[in-house]
Homo-oligomer: A and B are copies of this chain.
Amino acid sequence: MAVLKSNSYGKSHVRLTKVTRQGDLHELKEISVHVQLEGDFAACYTHGDNSKIIATDSMKNTVYVLARHHPLDSIESFARHAANHFVGTYPQVAIATVSIHEVPWQRIDVHGKLHNHSFVGGSSERRRCTVTNNRRSILVEAGIEDLLVLKTTQSGFVGFVRDKYTTLKETTDRIFATSVTAKWKYSLPDGNWNRSFDGVRKALLNVFATHDSLAVQQTLYAMGEEALNVCPDISEIELTMPNQHRLLVNLEPFGLSNPNEIFVPTNEPYGLIRGTVSRD
A residues engaging B (CB < 8 A)? 1-20, 26, 28, 30, 34, 36, 41, 44-62, 64-65, 67-68, 89-90, 105, 108-111, 115, 117-125, 146-154, 157-161, 163-168, 175, 179, 205-206, 208-210, 213-218, 220-221, 224-225, 228-229, 236, 242-243, 246, 249, 251, 253-256, 258, 260-265, 267-280
Contacts and interface: CB of A to CB of B under 8 A. Distances in A.
A152 to B, nearest CB: 4
Contacts of A254: 61, 65, 164-165
A19 B64 contact: no
Contacts of A120: 147-149, 205
A150 B168 contact: no
B206 A2 contact: no
B217 A9 contact: yes
B209 A115 contact: yes
Contacts of A62: 165
B12 A58 contact: no
A228 to B, nearest CB: 5
A6 B237 CA distance: 11
A97 to B, nearest CB: 11
Given A45-B217, A58-B165, A89-B163, 8 more contacts: A9-B272, A13-B269, A17-B263, A26-B152, A50-B214, A61-B165, A65-B251, A111-B206
A88 B120 CA distance: 40
